[in-house]
Amino acid sequence: MSLFSYIMRRVLISLLTVFVVVSITFFLMNLMPGDPFIGNKAVPKAIKDNLYAKYGLDKPLFERYLMYLGNLAKGDLGMSMTYKNQKVINVIKQAFPVSADLGIRSLIFGVIGGLLLGVIAALHHNGPWDTTATLLAIIGVSIPGFLIGTLVQYIFGFLFSNVIKDVFNTTYQLIPIARWEGFRYTLLPSFALGFSSLALTSRMMRTSMLDVLHQDYIKTAKSKGLTPLQVTWRHTIRNAILPVITVLGPMTAAIMTGTFVIEKIFAIPGLGKFFVQSVQMYDYTMILGLTLFFSTFLIFMNLVVDIAYGFIDPRIRLAKGKA
Amino acid sequence: MNFRQSLLMFCIAVAVAVAVVPVFAADPANLNIHIGIEPPNLDQHSIFRDETIPLMNLLFEGLVRSDGKGGYVPGMAEKWEASADGLEYTFTIRKGATWSNGDPVTAADFVYGLRRALDPATASMYSYILYPFRNAQAVNEGELPAEMVGVRAEGDKVTYTLEHPTSYILSILAMPFAMPGNRDFIEPLGGDYASDANLLVSNGPYTLKEWRHSDRLVLAKNPRYWNAEDIKLDTITVYVISDSDDAVDLFLEKELDLVDVPDHYLGDFEARGLAGPAYSDGAVFYLEFNIRDPVLSNSKIRKAIAYALDREALVRDVLANGSLPAMSVVAPSISSGAGGFYRDLVPQHFNDHDVAAAKALLAEAMLELGVERLPPLTLISDDGDRMKNISTLIQRMVRSSLGIDVRIQSLPFRERLERMYDGDFQIILAGLGPDYDDPMTYLEQWSTGGLFNFSGYVSAEYDRLIGLASAEADPEERLAHLEAAESLLMEDMPIAPVYFRMRNWAHQADVTGIVRRSLWPDPDLYRAEKTRK
């Protein structure tokens, strides 16, 4: 079986998975007691009826389900019930690039930084570098992102800006603490969001490296006279990185589709808030659209990871040919 | 200092200057404000959230516009006249009234606008506010075709026919729902209308230049607006910021020019001399009793609780922001319909903290109910700090004055609303703001089938008084009916008023002309100006 047919099979299974996810979400969501059109004011029943009719909520559940699937087949995710004139697909199109932008920055910071830290820590096992890296990792794993976010906001928005104010007599913010305007604005949120990935990656990399370093083939590599760099690069990292690659799929999907807390703290117009808000507001079409989007993205990232295995470790053969 | 050192110093100086200069180059005529939600849409005829109304006031213009002092001045209409019986209003559209795409604003646009707002297919949330127009309710409920609503155009004149004489009709015509619609622009777009900057055509002092969803909207001065010379700002940037603490931070950094001050910041703002004068937003907060409850069905119990509250202490100790004790329903900022403010003409209906009267009523009620001791009552409130504090104080007051145990149940806002809408409560702490400038905006709510009548209150006499007031053309007579109705409501006490809310806000010192008021649009930025440095 070639790589192509392997991918095709995975895509078919993925489609089925997404279908099941959407169906379960549809019915679970409709079990929630609540009304998408509840506002600050009570409105007459006739107006409620008009709204229900406009969004097709006056029809029986199963008919709505079939209608939704029919529209889905045509690529139509429907209109949001909270953002009345917005198509769900447009909301995703507008907000996802922002979240993805922030997510990629955080991943670059978190994964590359984490790998570096992990490698350095392992190579200097029990030395001061190791202690520092482990300490950072523990901080990163145990302090949640919103606390780190608030902390850096305090440091840069208050302490640092007070220094600037004293020295230059201006309220100009070199590193702004909120909003999404340009490169300067991406620094703090990328740091806050990427910090836990950094911690996780470095811990995994360190453990995995230590494991590999005790293997016989490392001794062999050393004894056949390879330079330390060659040993580390070709034999240690390449073998140690696999567990990190495994978590990278779900991590990428989770970070790139937006995080509610970090985006809220830094006032970033990303996708994160819609996940929470759509459930709070009973925005049925939005809940379904986002579930569909997220599950597809997650499945896709996992597929990418599986394929990446094959390139990094030739021993892993995705397409099991006949022996 | 040698050459290399001076060069280094020069480079540092340039770098610092480049970093600092943007502050001093601030655009003098841009106002930065914020909105708590991403607007669901900016469709003038189907607004879903009050928060967007200040924007509608800038993007669109109705026949008349608030003058910022409680009256209405010509907008798209240059003049108007009412028929002697008060049932017909004819407006003449001003010459030069133009849409932002260059189309003229015509009388027919107003006819189309009203029909569209009432069309059941538009499913406008607030269309009930338009029910004073003839046949509007029947059209909205799908019983009559849209053409039957009481509006017609002849040349440059648009004439509205009303169900009853409606003294506050101008305050309704100034609202977005009654604004014109550019049919040729709207119809081809269908459901996409007003969902993006290029999908909107406006006729107000500003146009929508940019809409970065969930981030910001940029409004730019509309050069085609008939009164463009009185519009002092070039742009208004509206940031979408849902967290009110974030908004306060940005205000303190001078990145926002206007902010509502949350309770917990009020002291800080006052200490810094930043707090503007509090203003009444017209909301009355009250305890609504469920009359279907066996104990609360007794009006004397309800009155006992109403009389026992020490509102003076509550507004002083808990709210501490200028809010006023309410022993009536109609807020002080509402016009009487017969000249002046209603509350100035009609005094409040009972005494605050009248424990003796409350105890006497309770004793009578216990006899009538044939009980020695009342079972504990449950009070539902929102779970915000302010509402929790208020309900705790009410709990203490009712227990100490009357010996009645009150249990508090704090619920998230939407859940509290659902319990209220379902009538699933004993006592609920709720608030009501005005839709239009007339006592009726509060009083009609507790007639049979009234929108906010969740108490199950039914009184033929109350309905009669509301009916009389609705149909009465003479302002003095009408006022008498309204007063009688409010008085009866406070006699039967399906709701016990607690306080009239005041709100706190602040603006930067270089900003003037912002009007805060209890009616839409609040804030009114039509006359805002900014003079920087």
Q: Please report the pLDDT score of residue B21 as a whole number.
A: 45
Q: pLDDT truncated to tens, each residue of chain A (323 aa)?
A: 677 888 888 889 989 999 999 999 999 999 888 788 877 777 888 898 999 998 889 999 999 999 999 999 998 999 898 888 788 999 999 899 999 999 999 999 999 999 999 999 999 999 999 999 889 889 988 998 889 999 988 888 778 878 887 888 777 777 887 778 888 888 999 999 999 999 999 999 999 999 999 999 999 999 998 998 889 888 899 889 988 988 998 899 989 988 888 988 888 888 998 999 899 889 999 999 999 999 999 999 988 888 888 777 777 766 555 43
Asked if B126 lies within 8 A of A41 by C-beta distance, the reply is yes
Burial of A167 (0-12, 13-18, 19+ CB in 10 A): exposed
Q: How far apart are CA A233 and CA A226, in angstroms?
A: 11
Q: Please report the pLDDT score of residue B18 as a whole number.
A: 47
DSSP state, residue B218? E
Residue of A92, A89, A47 lying closest to A72 (CA atoms): A89
A301, part of any domain:
no
Contacts of B313 (CB under 8 A, 6+ apart): B353, B393
Reported confidence tier of residue B27, pLDDT bands at 50, 70, 90: low
Contacts of B89 (CB under 8 A, 6+ apart): B80, B81, B82, B83, B159, B160, B162, B169
Q: Please report the pLDDT score of residue B2 as a whole number.
A: 58
For the entire predicted model, the pTM comes to 0.84
- Quick one: closest CA in B to A274, which residue? B214
A287, part of any domain:
no
Residue of B494, B54, B7 lying closest to B236 (CA atoms): B54
Asked if A178 lies within 8 A of B121 by C-beta distance, the reply is no
Residue B190 near chain A (CB below 8 Å): no
Listing DSSP states for A151-180 in one string gives: HHHHIIIIIIHHHHHHHH-----SS-SS--
Are residues B231 and B525 in contact, defined by beta-carbon separation less than 8 angstroms?
no
Residue A51 near chain B (CB below 8 Å): yes
Q: Please report the pLDDT score of residue B473 as a whole number.
A: 87
Are residues A95 and A270 in contact, defined by beta-carbon separation less than 8 angstroms?
yes
Is the pLDDT at B249 greater than 70? The verdict is: yes
Write out the E strands in B412-467.
427-432
**Which pair of structure tokens corresponds to residue B451?**
């929108």
Asked if B214 lies within 8 A of A269 by C-beta distance, the reply is yes
A114, part of any domain:
yes
Residue of B314, B264, B257 lying closest to B285 (CA atoms): B314
Interface list for A 168-227 with B (CB within 8 A): 168, 170-174, 177-180
A5, part of any domain:
no
Residue of B210, B255, B218 lying closest to B234 (CA atoms): B218
Q: Report the gap between the CA of B120 and the closest CA in chain A (Å).
A: 5
ipTM of the complex: 0.80
Task: Please name the member of B23, B38, B192 whose beta carbon is closest to the beta carbon of A83.
Answer: B38
Q: Please report the pLDDT score of residue B25 as a whole number.
A: 46
Query: Could you give the angle at the alpha carbon of A200 between the alpha carbons of A196 and A201, nearest 5°?
Result: 115
Run of H or E including B350: none
Is the pLDDT at B331 greater than 50? The verdict is: yes
A48, part of any domain:
no
CATH number for the domain spanning A138: value is: 1.10.3720.10
Is the pLDDT at B11 greater than 70? The verdict is: no
Q: How far apart are CA B56 and CA B61, in angstroms?
A: 8
Listing DSSP states for B229-267 in one string gives: GG---SEEEEEE---HHHHHHHHHTTS-SEEE--GGGHH
B-chain CB neighbours of A50 within 8 Å are: 120-124, 140, 142
A306, part of any domain:
no
Q: Please report the pLDDT score of residue B178 as a whole number.
A: 95
A56, part of any domain:
no
What digits encode the pLDDT tens for the residues B266-315?
A: 989 999 888 878 999 999 999 999 999 999 999 999 999 999 999 999 99
Query: Could you give the angle at the alpha carbon of A5 between the alpha carbons of A3 and A7, nearest 5°?
Result: 70
How many residues make up chain A in this entry? 323
Task: Please name the member of A53, A168, A178 whose beta carbon is closest to the beta carbon of B246.
Answer: A178
The helix/strand/coil state of A299 is helix
For tokens 């075709």, the residue is: B145
How do the residues of chain A divide into helix, strand and coil, expressed in percent and rounded to 5?
75, 0, 25
Provide the CB-side half-sphere exposure for A142 (13 A, CA).
6
Reported confidence tier of residue B113, pLDDT bands at 50, 70, 90: very high
Kind of pairing between the strands at B216-221 and B206-212? antiparallel
**Which pair of structure tokens corresponds to residue B472?**
């009465």
Calculate the CA A125 to chain-centre distance: 31
Q: Please report the pLDDT score of residue B532 as a whole number.
A: 64
Contacts of B521 (CB under 8 A, 6+ apart): B53, B54, B56, B57, B66
Are residues B236 and B219 in contact, defined by beta-carbon separation less than 8 angstroms?
yes
| Owning domain of residue A96 | 92-280
Asked if B418 lies within 8 A of A82 by C-beta distance, the reply is no
**Which pair of structure tokens corresponds to residue A287?**
């809940």
Q: How far apart are CA A275 and CA A82, in angstroms?
A: 13
A128, part of any domain:
yes
Are residues B308 and B352 in contact, defined by beta-carbon separation less than 8 angstroms?
no
Reported confidence tier of residue B24, pLDDT bands at 50, 70, 90: very low
Q: Average pLDDT for residues B347-365, to the nearest whole number?
A: 96
As for how many domains chain A has, the answer is: 1
Residue A269 near chain B (CB below 8 Å): yes
CB atoms within 10 A of CB B28: 11
What is the residue-averaged pLDDT of chain B?
Answer: 91
Q: Please report the pLDDT score of residue B20 as a whole number.
A: 46
